[in-house]
Each structure stands twice: as structure tokens, then as C-alpha cells.
Amino acid sequence: MNIEVVNTKSVRVIAIASGKGGVGKTNVSINLSMALAALGREVTLFDADLGLANVDVLLGLKPERNLSHVINQECELKDILVDGPNAIKIIPAASGVKMMSQLSDLQHAALIHAFDDLVSRTDVLVIDTSAGLFNSVLSFCAASQEIVVVVCNEPASIADAYALIKVLHRDHQVGRFRVLVNMVDDREEGRKLFKRLVQVCEKYLDVILDLLGVIPRDPNIIKAVQRQKALLQTYPSSPAALEFKKIADIADKWPKARSANGKMEFFLEQIIAPRAIDQMGVSL
Ligand SMILES: Nc1ncnc2c1ncn2[C@@H]1O[C@H](COP(=O)(O)OP(=O)(O)OP(=O)(O)O)[C@@H](O)[C@H]1O
Ligand SMILES: [Mg+2]
């Protein structure tokens, strides 16, 4: 099937990933999206966690429809977009997406059309991925212009971040990663952790890691999660919130895709590829 994206607007696609679960991906996705929106960008947050609807839960949203309704041509993408804080638009997690590998031509076309439509209304597409090295996660990452790897100071988090980087490098030729250290007591701890990850990656892989930021352990995040609100909504001056704003300033200056629409087209090709939605894990 030919994929033609006629729109010429450039969309920055940022995937938030980690390998290990519970390290803060969804909080990063939401607050980074909000901080980018505060800079004047039109931001769409795609909840690509195919298992659990993370963004909905953290923001207390109860969307009635999701991407599966778009694929089945029951509605258009604009009908499922949910308004989030700071006017970000949220694409709710799709249930039953395992079926995507068996989409009919008509359903494929509907999905392509849906994301094509998104180009005209978005400057930045942030993708909150699920934990694990599922092919869906890898494909979303590989299709994105920027991959932010969230890591915290636990051996399993570092090992899983390394495994994610290794597979994306080996199987998808990704050469650059932005690392976001989360839940540390101070900047020094964050820097040390980043250095450890760089050392192990440099030893075995030919990749470039950039330290995007260090987010402190902040009890206000836990309070915000309990209230089902974003940190930037409830505690905009808290230490972690200030760091999210700094990170958004940096991300906003990243170079855009070289061709006007090339990356979005590539993104579409990747996410509709049958293996993209395959939930099988990969071997290391
Ligand atoms: N900087 C932080 N300071 C304190 N607590 C934090 C911080 N970041 C995240 N948390 C805590 O970690 C929990 C998990 O965060 P989050 O849901 O964003 O992780 P995740 O990586 O998306 O998890 P999953 O893999 O299950 O999707 C939050 O509910 C919150 O309590
Ligand atoms: Mg999550």
C-alpha cells in the first residue's frame, strides 16, 4: 500500500521509553507535553501503552472512544482526541490493538488518514510507550525523531535502559538517545548515573547519549498522581516541575525533521507495519 502524506507541516515526534516499568514515563510524557504547550506549541500526547491506559488514569480522564474506533471507521481522529491540561490533546490508549496486525485495507487506510489528519493540528507528538521490549514499543521508538530514555537509580532500570538502547541500535539502527534521569536526590546522583550508563553503552555499542535532564525525587509528584492531576497543574513551582520546564526549553530547540513531512510519513509506515503492533517480546 502506498502512503502519501500531502500535508507539508513538520511534526516533531518524541517517544518516551524506559525498558523497566514504573520509572516515570507517563509523568514525564504528561508534564513535558504541558511544558511544551506552555511554550506555544500545539502538542498531541499519544498514549501508546497498549496494556494499561496510563495517561487516562493519571489525569482522571474517562474517554469513551479510542484509536480502535477510528480504525473501524466509527469516527475520526478528531472525535477521539481528549482535551488535557494546557490545551494538550490526548489520543487515548486503544484497546484491542493486537488486532492491528490483521487490519483490512480499509482499516489501514483509516489509520493512515487519521495520522495524516493529525499533522495539520500538531507541532509535537509525544508518545508515552509501555514498559518492556515489545515490538510495538521498539517500532514507536524507531519511528520517532527523538527517543527519551527515562532511567532511575536502580540496577534493573539501568540494565533495562541498556537493553532497550542495545536492541534499538542493533535492530533499528538508532544511534542517538536522550537520557532523562528521574527520582534522584540531587543532580550529582543523576550525573553519576548517566555516566554509568554512558560507560556501559560506549563499551559495547556505537551510540551517542545526551543527558536531557535530572528530575529530582519530588513528593509533589506522588500527591499529584493521587489527585489524578498533572504536576504542572497542581504544583507548578515544585522542583520537578521547574526541571520539566527546563527540559521542554531544550526539547523545543532540537532540530526539526530534515524534510517537511518525511518523518511523519516514516512514522506512519512504521506504526502500521504488521510487526509494529505485535506484542511479542524480543530476544537479546
Ligand atoms: N520524580 C519523581 N519523584 C517522586 N515520585 C515519582 C517521580 N516520578 C515518578 N514518581 C512515582 O513513580 C510512579 C510511577 O510513575 P509513572 O506512572 O509515570 O511511571 P511509568 O514509567 O509510566 O510506569 P509504567 O511502566 O507502569 O507505565 C508515580 O506514580 C509516582 O508515584
Ligand atoms: Mg506509564
Interval 100-127: pLDDT, tens: 555 677 776 777 777 777 877 889 999 9
For residue 23, report the distance from its CA to the centre of ligand 1, in Å: 5
Average pLDDT over residues 195-222: 96
Q: How far apart are CA 132 and CA 48, in angstroms?
A: 13
Query: Average pLDDT, whole number, for the chain?
Result: 85
- Phi-psi category of residue 105: left, alpha or beta, with phi > 0 → left and psi -120 to 50 → alpha: alpha
Are 33 and 43 spatial neighbours (Cβ–Cβ below 8 Å)?
Answer: yes
* CA distance linking residue 123 with residue 13, whole number of Å: 9
Task: Please report which ligand is nearest the Cα atom of 161.
Answer: 1
pLDDT score of 203 = 92
The pLDDT value given to residue 37: 98
Mutation probe of ligand 1 site: the residue of 126, 225, 226, 235 with most atoms within 8 A of C-beta: 225
Cell of 282: 524480543
Helix (H, G, I), strand (E, B) or coil at 180: strand
pLDDT at 282: 36
Q: What is the pLDDT of residues 164-184, one digit of tens each?
A: 999 999 998 999 999 999 999
Residue-wise pLDDT tens digits, 34-90: 999 999 999 999 998 766 668 988 999 989 998 888 877 888 888 999 999 999 999
Distance CA 277, CA 50 (A): 9
Q: In the numeric block, which cell numbers belong to residue 176?
A: 542517538
pLDDT of residue 177: 98
Q: Which of 99, 162, 191 lies closest to 136 in space, CA to CA?
A: 99
* pLDDT tens per residue, range 138-162: 878 888 889 999 999 999 999 999 9
Q: Residue 240: CB within 6 Å of ligand 1?
A: yes
Say if ligand 1 is within 6 A of residue 99 CB. no
